[in-house]
Amino acid sequence: MSRTDQELEGVTLLGNQGTQYEFDYRPDVLETFENKHPENEYVVTLDCPEFTSLCPKTGQPDFGHIIINATMAIFMRIASTSS
């Protein structure tokens, strides 16, 4: 189910090939658009099986598997990480 240009008006980050990756939390990079079917319950699952970071205490690499389940409400929020 695709969206019309009018429905996506103001959504500028999704599909942007010039994405600048930030390392600090930036809620302004999240864009919203109205849920066309708010009567439906959605669950979005983000699965990152190869998460890596540096331990803030030792500086050594940490590894993990992160799974995030989120339910959508009236608005859906997206963050673009297009490359």
Give dist(CA 45, CA 63) in Å, integer.
Answer: 20
Give dist(CA 23, CA 82) in Å, integer.
Answer: 16
Structure tokens at 24: 């600090």
Structure tokens at 52: 């890596």
The residues annotated as belonging to the active site are: 55, 62
